C-alpha cells in the first residue's frame, strides 16, 4: 500500500453545494476517526466502531452548540473508496450546516481536499488503476444511457484488462530478445526472426483495432456536434424546434453563448446529439467581420455532422456547400431539402427530403445522424472501447514504436534496437493504466475532477 499521503487527512463536501434532503461530507486519512470524535457526540466513539457501520449522533461545536444531528458512516482502511480510513457524515441538506462542519474539521487540522484527491488516493492506493480513475469522471458526467454504459465499462476495468493483456504479450516477446542478449556470446537463438516479427505484428494489429474504436468511443462519451446550416427562412429554427419537441429525451436546452447560435441537446438511441442552429446567419465573405458569422463558422468547424438545409424553392445552396467543405473538410454533410409538404417535386441531388412543419421523414433524418456518426455498427458491452484522447495518444505512440521495431527487424538490426522499441511501447501502454506515470500526468487528470470526488 502506498503511503504517499499518510500525513494528510482531507475533507470535502461530496454532494452538490445546495439545499437538498441530505448533504454528505467525506473525510479520508489516518486522522479521520480521531477528528470526527472531537466534534461528534453519539452512543459510541467512532474510533472504537467497526468498519461499515453507521452511527447516529450530534455534531457539536466548541461552545457546545448543536450544529446538526447526523449519521456517520465508518470505513476502515483498506476497505474504503480511497483505501484509507474514511468517514462520511450525512447531514441535513443545508450548505451552511455542511460548511460549518467542514470548518470545525479544518480546526482539527484536517485539510480541504484538492479536486479529485479522493480518487487520486484511491489510485495511489491501488484501489483503481488510472484508466479506471479517469472513468469515474466520465460516469459522473455521462448524460445518456449509452455514455453511462461506456464509462461503466471502463470503470469495470475492461479497457485496463485489454491493456494488461497487450503489455503481457510485449513482455513475453521482449523476454526472448533479452535472453538472446544475455547469451549473446553463445549465439543461442531463442526466437527466430520470422516468429518475432509475427508476434509484433500481432500486437500492432490489436493496437490498431483498439485505436479504431476511438471515434465510436468518443461519440458514446461526448455525443456528436450537429450544425444546421442554411439560408434564412429555409426552416432551420423550425427543424430544431421539431427535433427537440419530438425527442422525449431532451437533455438540456442551452441559450447559446451568442444569440446567433442556439444549442439544444437531445438523446437519440442513447447517443447525445448536440444540435446547433446557426440561425439567421448568411455566410458571405463581405460580412466576414461580423461576430455572428465568426461564431457560425466556428460552430461549423467544430461540427461532426452538418445538416445543410435548403428548401423546395431554392434547393441545396451550393455556395454554402462549398464554404462548409472548405471550413470543415472532414465534416459529414447531410444535404436536406425542407418544406417537402409544399410540393410533389422529386429532388435528386439531396440525401433526404423532410418537412419541419409536418415532421415528414424527421425520424429518418435522426436515424441518419446516428448512423453517420457511429462507424462501428456493433457495440458489445464487453469489448474494450477507447474514448479518452490521452489513451488514444498512448496507443498511437505505442504502435509507432512497434512499427519502428518491425523496421529494425527488416533492416537486420541487432536485438538491442528491437528491445528498446518494445520496452518503449510497453511503457506507453503502462501510462494508460498508470503503471508508468509522472506527477504531471496525474495532476492533469485529477485537476479535471470536482472537489469531493
Ligand atoms: P430559418 O430562418 O431558417 O430559421 O427558418 P424558420 O424556421 O424561421 O422558418 C421560416 C418559415 O418557414 C416559417 O414561416 C416556418 O413556419 C416555415 N417553415 C419551416 N419549415 C417548414 C416546412 O417544413 N413546411 C412549410 N410549409 N413551412 C415551413
Q: Which of 366, 232, 358, 342 is nearest to 292 (CA)?
A: 232
Residue nearest to atom 17 of ligand 1 (CA): 235
Rounded distance between C-alpha atoms, residue 243 and residue 451, angstroms: 36
Greater pLDDT, 187 or 315: 315
SS (H, E, C) 331-371: CEEEEEEECHHHCCCCCCCCCEECCCCCCCCHHHHHHHHHH
Q: Where are the beta strands (DSSP E) in 209-304?
A: 224-230, 250-258, 261-268, 271-277
Binning pLDDT at 50, 70 and 90, where does residue 183 land? confident
Instruction: Give yes or no for residue 441 CB within 6 A of ligand 1.
Output: no
For residue 276, the number of C-alpha atoms closer than 13 Å in the C-beta half-sphere is 26
291-319, pLDDT tens digit by residue?
667 778 888 998 989 999 999 999 999 99
Q: Which of 108, 134, 34, 33 is nearest to 77 (CA)?
A: 33
Instruction: Give yes or no for residue 242 CB within 6 A of ligand 1.
Output: no
Instruction: Give yes or no for residue 240 CB within 6 A of ligand 1.
Output: no
Q: In what order do the strands lie in the sheet with 271-277?
A: 250-258, 261-268, 271-277, 224-230, 305-311, 332-338, 352-353
Residue nearest to atom 15 of ligand 1 (CA): 235
pTM: 0.78
Binning pLDDT at 50, 70 and 90, where does residue 246 land? low
Instruction: Give yes or no for residue 231 CB within 6 A of ligand 1.
Output: no
Instruction: Give yes or no for residue 234 CB within 6 A of ligand 1.
Output: yes
How far is ligand 1, taken at its centre, from the CA of residue 251, in Å? 24
Q: Are 307 and 277 in contact (CB under 8 A)?
A: no
Angle, helices 415-433/130-141, rounded to nearest 10 degrees: 40
User: What rounded mean pLDDT belongs to the chain?
Assistant: 88
Binning pLDDT at 50, 70 and 90, where does residue 251 land? very low
How far is ligand 1, taken at its centre, from the CA of residue 237, in Å? 7
7-25, pLDDT tens digit by residue?
699 999 999 988 999 999 9
Q: Name the strand (E) or helix (H) holding 68.
A: strand 66-75
Q: Name the strand (E) or helix (H) holding 402.
A: helix 389-410
Binning pLDDT at 50, 70 and 90, where does residue 256 land? very low
Other beta carbons within 10 angstroms of residue 234's beta carbon come to 24
Q: What is the mean pLDDT of residues 311-333?
A: 92
Amino acid at each position: 500500500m502506498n503511503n504517499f499521503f499518510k500525513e494528510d487527512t482531507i475533507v470535502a463536501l461530496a454532494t452538490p453545494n445546495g439545499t437538498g434532503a441530505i448533504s454528505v461530507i467525506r473525510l479520508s486519512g489516518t486522522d479521520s476517526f480521531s477528528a470526527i470524535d472531537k466534534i461528534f457526540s453519539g452512543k459510541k466513539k467512532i474510533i472504537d466502531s467497526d468498519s461499515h457501520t453507521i452511527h447516529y449522533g450530534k455534531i457539536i461545536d466548541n461552545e457546545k452548540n448543536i450544529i446538526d444531528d447526523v449519521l456517520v458512516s465508518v470505513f476502515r482502511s483498506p476497505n474504503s473508496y480511497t483505501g484509507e480510513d474514511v468517514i462520511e457524515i450525512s447531514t441535513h441538506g443545508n450548505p451552511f450546516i455542511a460548511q460549518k462542519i467542514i470548518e470545525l474539521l479544518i480546526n482539527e487540522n484536517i485539510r480541504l481536499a484538492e479536486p479529485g484527491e479522493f480518487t487520486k488516493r484511491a489510485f495511489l492506493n491501488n484501489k483503481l488503476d488510472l484508466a479506471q480513475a479517469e472513468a469515474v469522471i466520465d460516469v459522473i458526467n455521462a448524460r445518456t444511457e449509452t455514455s453511462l454504459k461506456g464509462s461503466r465499462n471502463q470503470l469495470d476495468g475492461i479497457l485496463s484488462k485489454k491493456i494488461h493483456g497487450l503489455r503481457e504479450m510485449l513482455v513475453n516477446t521482449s523476454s526472448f530478445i533479452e535472453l538472446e542478449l544475455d547469451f549473446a556470446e553463445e549465439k543461442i537463438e531463442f526466437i527466430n526472426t520470422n516468429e518475432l516479427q509475427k508476434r509484433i505484428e500481432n500486437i500492432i494489429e490489436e493496437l490498431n483495432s483498439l485505436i479504431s474504436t476511438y471515434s465510436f468511443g468518443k461519440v458514446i462519451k461526448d455525443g456528436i456536434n450537429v450544425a444546421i446550416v442554411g439560408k434564412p427562412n429555409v426552416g432551420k429554427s423550425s427543424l430544431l424546434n421539431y427535433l427537440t419537441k419530438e425527442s422525449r429525451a431532451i437533455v438540456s436546452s442551452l441559450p447559446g453563448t451568442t444569440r446567433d447560435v442556439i444549442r439544444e441537446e437531445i438523446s437519440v438511441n442513447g447517443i447525445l446529439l448536440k444540435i446547433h442552429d446557426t440561425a439567421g446567419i448568411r455566410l458571405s465573405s463581405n460580412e466576414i467581420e461580423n461576430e455572428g458569422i465568426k461564431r457560425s463558422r466556428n460552430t461549423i468547424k467544430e461540427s461532426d455532422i452538418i445538416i445543410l438545409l435548403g428548401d423546395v424553392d431554392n434547393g441545396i445552396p451550393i455556395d454554402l456547400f462549398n464554404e462548409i467543405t472548405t471550413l470543415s473538410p472532414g465534416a459529414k454533410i447531410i444535404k436536406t431539402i425542407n418544406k417537402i409538404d409544399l410540393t410533389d417535386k422529386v429532388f435528386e441531388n439531396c440525401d433526404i427530403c423532410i418537412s419541419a412543419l409536418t415532421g415528414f421523414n424527421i425520424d429518418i433524418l435522426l436515424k441518419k445522424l446516428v448512423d453517420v456518426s457511429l462507424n462501428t455498427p456493433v457495440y458489445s458491452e464487453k469489448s474494450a472501447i477507447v474514448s479518452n484522447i490521452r489513451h488514444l495518444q498512448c496507443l498511437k505512440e505505442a504502435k509507432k514504436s512497434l512499427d519502428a521495431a518491425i523496421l529494425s527487424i527488416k533492416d537486420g538490426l541487432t536485438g538491442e534496437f528491437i528491445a528498446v522499441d518494445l520496452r518503449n511501447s510497453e511503457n506507453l501502454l503502462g501510462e494508460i493504466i498508470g503503471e508508468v506515470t509522472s506527477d504531471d500526468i496525474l495532476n492533469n487528470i485529477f485537476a479535471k475532477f470536482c472537489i469531493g470526488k
